[in-house]
Amino acid sequence: MDVISLWFVLAYVLYAECIAGVIVNVIIVTANIIKWKTMKSLNTGDKILSSLATSICLYLSVSFLIYLSSIFHLQDDKDQLFIFSLLFVSTFLHFTNLWFATVLCVFYCVKITSYSWKFFIFLKTKISTLVPWFLLASMVISISSSLPFGLGYNGIQVQNLTNVSMGNMNISRDMEYEDQLQSYEKSKYLLLIISCPPFVVFCVVGFLLLHSLWMHIRRMKSSGSGFRSPNLESHFKAVKSMGLFLVLETVYFLVASYSYAACHGNITGYWIAIIVTCSPPVLHSLYIISSNNELKKTFVSMFHVLKCCAQV
């Protein structure tokens, strides 16, 4: 397969992935809006999930715009400013996704586990009122973490990737390559370091949640509860969901925090990194819909509406 054919394949894969991701996350947000309008309230978990789904929607949309900008030979200052703005927003949304996912994991851990630590007991009684502040703090931290990149320190520059001659398909080496390489290395480690705190908190809380669930399953089995007990099956389901969430978040963290900057001067590698990075949020959103009856009903309803509109 030649380079042009590979680029077309990557384009179709990324397009399908971003469209699917936006659709499933819009369904999640729409379902929660409908629930809020019906019940005049929304539980804390749904608020966090809606915030995360909105952030993922925006992230996927911006990622696809970055991809589109990378296939054109853009040299105008206004175009470069637009691309740089997209990169800054993408970095902000990357951090937001990490922090929102961490807040969601903390919420599940506090609500489900039964640890007797004073801090956990405090969180259990205050979690509903603290979550909005956690979400606000997450956005403030994310925008603050993005400032070094927005102030010109961002080495993940599409300009270097888009400086492609469509005539010979070779990336231009006219710029100062050593300076670019140093910039990439700095941005790579900076992005990795800033992404570590929410990911470390996520892993610690996720481990505590899995440990608590597994210990509870063992106690239920030792007490004589049947393997087909509804309570036992619900706990197994929770363990599977949290394990999947942990694996997908790890993949997202590793690829989004490292590969983007590591693919300097390699536009194909950069696009593959975008595709891999967008996959975990999409897969997790699909799993959430498939495991929630209300969301599945909303999905079916929206599908019928779209089908009717297409037939008109």
The model's pLDDT over 229-255, given as tens digits with 9 standing for 90+, comes to 556 666 677 778 888 888 888 888 888
In this predicted structure, the answer to whether residue 120 has a pLDDT above a threshold of 70 is yes
- Residue 219 has φ and ψ, to the nearest 5°, of -65, -40
Burial of 310 (0-12, 13-18, 19+ CB in 10 A): exposed
Q: Which domains does the chain carry? A: 3-301 (1.20.1070.10)
Q: Count H helices, E strands: the chain?
A: 10, 2
Q: Residue 15 in 3-state DSSP?
A: helix
C-alpha to C-alpha distances, 144 to 36, 138, 197, nearest whole angstrom: 31, 10, 14
Q: Which of 88, 277, 100, 119 is nearest to 187 (CA)?
A: 88
Do the Cβ atoms of 210 and 242 come closer than 8 Å? Answer: yes
Q: What is the pLDDT of residue 173?
A: 43
In this predicted structure, the answer to whether residue 12 has a pLDDT above a threshold of 70 is yes
The model's pLDDT over 266-309, given as tens digits with 9 standing for 90+, comes to 667 777 777 888 888 888 888 888 887 777 777 777 777 766 76
End-to-end CA distance of the chain: 40
Q: Which residue has the higher pLDDT, 200 or 64?
A: 200
Structural tokens at position 220: 């239920």
C-alpha to C-alpha distances, 207 to 10, 49, 110, nearest whole angstrom: 35, 20, 13
pTM value is 0.82
Structural tokens at position 228: 């087909």
Burial of 112 (0-12, 13-18, 19+ CB in 10 A): middle
